[in-house]
A = this chain, B = another copy of it.
Amino acid sequence: MLKDLKENFTHIFEDTLIAEINEVGTLKEVKEGEKLIEIGDYVRSMPLLISGAIKILREDDDGDELLLYFLERGDTCAMTLTCCLGQKKSEIRAIAELDTTLIMIPIQKMEEWTGKYKSWRNFVFQSYHERLTEMLETIDSIAFYNMDERLVKYLQNKQKVTNDSLINSTHQEIAYELHTSRVVVSRLLKKLESMGKIELYRNSIKIVSL
């Protein structure tokens, strides 16, 4: 774990903090599709992402989903931060988008380190800022763009996060994450295919040029 820490956080945290994280943190591996946090869960530890990716989803009362954003290497969950400090329930669901490695930090250390390490404070503030920015982008998408543009953004984003131009999703899965219907996704994907921007296969989509 120390190796992972040094590789990913050495330019961010001072050595003494790295050592502390190494001491109290526990390594956790999750498989693609595995659920990390459910809406309403109490959060007991804070994740630091070493590798992989986690998707953060919002859900309404009827069970309808919406993809908010992805967490990647070096990220942490901003929602978790305040949940830890305030003993609040999670407002979101977190699911591993890829096989993912994380370091889990007990919440008691949070408060201690924010007082003790300037680099930790900066990291936490930086995380908040990134998350707020990503929430704003999500709002931009749903407020200012039509479904065809949102779909393109979704595919681009997915390609970036998985680092793979072959996207292994069904139309139904995409529909859930964009909070629309399967028929609409099929329709728009077909239009993208006829424009030569993607190729459609069973259970997967090949991105040609978006």
Contact = CB atoms under 8 A, between A and B. Distances in A.
B91 A122 contact: no
Interface in A45-80: 58, 60, 62, 64, 66, 68, 78-79
A118 interface: yes
Contact of A126 (B82, B92, B115, B139): B82
Given A82-B125, A126-B82, A91 B139 contact: no
Contacts of A44: none
B88 A179 contact: no
Interface size class of A (residues with CB under 8 A): 35 or more
Number of copies: 2
Interface string A182-194: 0000000000000
A138 to B, nearest CB: 6
A140 B82 contact: no
Contacts of A91: 132-133, 136
A78 B139 contact: no
B118 A82 contact: no
Q: Residue among A86, A125, A138, A179 with the most chain B CB within 10 A?
A: A125
Contact of A132 (B82, B138, B140): B82
B132 A131 contact: yes
Contacts of A62: 144
7 closest A-B pairs by CB: A82-B129, A60-B144, A135-B135, A66-B143, A128-B128, A142-B142, A142-B143
